C-alpha cells in the first residue's frame, strides 16, 4: 500500500512539474519582444556646414566613445537594435569650425540631429533628441559665432544612452562621459 501511495505522489509531482514548466514557457513567449529596443539617428547638415566645419560622428558602445568618423555627405542615417542588457548605445555629433576665409556673402547653416528609441511595436520610448538649427542667408560675419554656438550646444545633446534594461535607461551627453 505504501508503495502505491508513493508512486501516486511521484506521478502527481511529475504532472505538476510539467504543468509549471509549461506555464513558464508560455509566459516567456508573451514577453519576448518587450526587451528589444531600436535606437535610430538621422543627421542632416548643409553643404555650407561641411565646407566651413569638420563634422564628426562618434559611436558610443559598451567600451565608451569610439573613434571619430568625419561626415562627407549631407545626410546620414544610423540604427542599432538592442537585445541584451546592460548596453551603451548612441552617436555623438560634433562640429569643429575651420579657420578659413569666408568667400561668400551669405551662407545656409543647417544642422539637424534626431534620435528616436522605439520598442519592438514601434512605440516611442524616452525623450529622444530633436536638435535642429536651420538658418538661411547668414551673413559671413555671423558664421563663426553661429558655428561656435552649435558646437557648444551639440556637446550637451543627450543622445548617448546607458540601458540597464529596455525600460530603465539613462540618457547622457558627450560632456557627461
Tens digits of residue pLDDT in 52-96:
999 999 999 999 999 999 999 999 999 999 999 999 999 999 999
Tens digits of residue pLDDT in 33-57:
468 999 999 999 999 999 999 999 9
pLDDT at position 17, please? 46
Report H helices in 32-171.
47-52, 143-155
Mean pLDDT value of segment 2-27: 46
Q: Is the pLDDT of residue 26 over 60?
A: no
Asked if 170 contacts 162 with a C-beta cutoff of 8 angstroms, the reply is yes
What residues does each domain of the chain span?
1-34, 36-176
Q: What would the grid cell of residue 78 be?
A: 544610423
Amino acid at each position: 500500500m505504501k508503495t502505491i501511495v508513493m508512486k501516486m505522489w511521484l506521478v502527481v509531482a511529475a504532472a505538476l512539474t510539467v504543468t509549471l514548466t509549461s506555464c513558464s514557457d508560455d509566459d516567456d513567449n508573451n514577453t519576448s519582444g518587450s526587451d528589444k529596443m531600436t535606437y535610430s539617428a538621422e543627421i542632416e547638415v548643409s553643404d555650407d556646414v561641411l565646407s566651413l566645419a569638420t563634422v564628426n560622428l562618434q559611436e558610443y558602445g559598451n567600451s565608451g566613445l569610439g573613434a571619430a568618423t568625419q561626415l562627407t555627405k549631407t545626410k546620414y542615417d544610423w540604427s542599432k537594435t538592442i537585445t541584451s542588457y546592460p548596453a551603451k548605445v548612441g552617436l555623438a555629433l560634433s562640429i569643429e569650425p575651420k579657420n578659413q576665409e569666408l568667400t561668400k556673402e551669405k551662407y545656409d547653416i543647417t544642422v539637424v540631429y534626431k534620435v528616436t528609441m522605439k520598442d519592438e511595436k514601434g512605440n516611442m520610448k524616452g525623450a529622444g533628441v530633436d536638435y535642429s538649427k536651420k538658418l538661411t542667408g547668414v551673413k559671413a560675419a555671423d558664421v563663426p559665432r553661429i558655428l561656435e554656438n552649435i558646437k557648444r550646444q551639440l556637446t550637451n545633446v543627450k543622445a548617448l544612452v546607458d540601458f540597464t534594461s529596455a525600460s530603465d535607461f539613462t540618457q547622457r551627453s558627450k560632456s557627461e562621459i
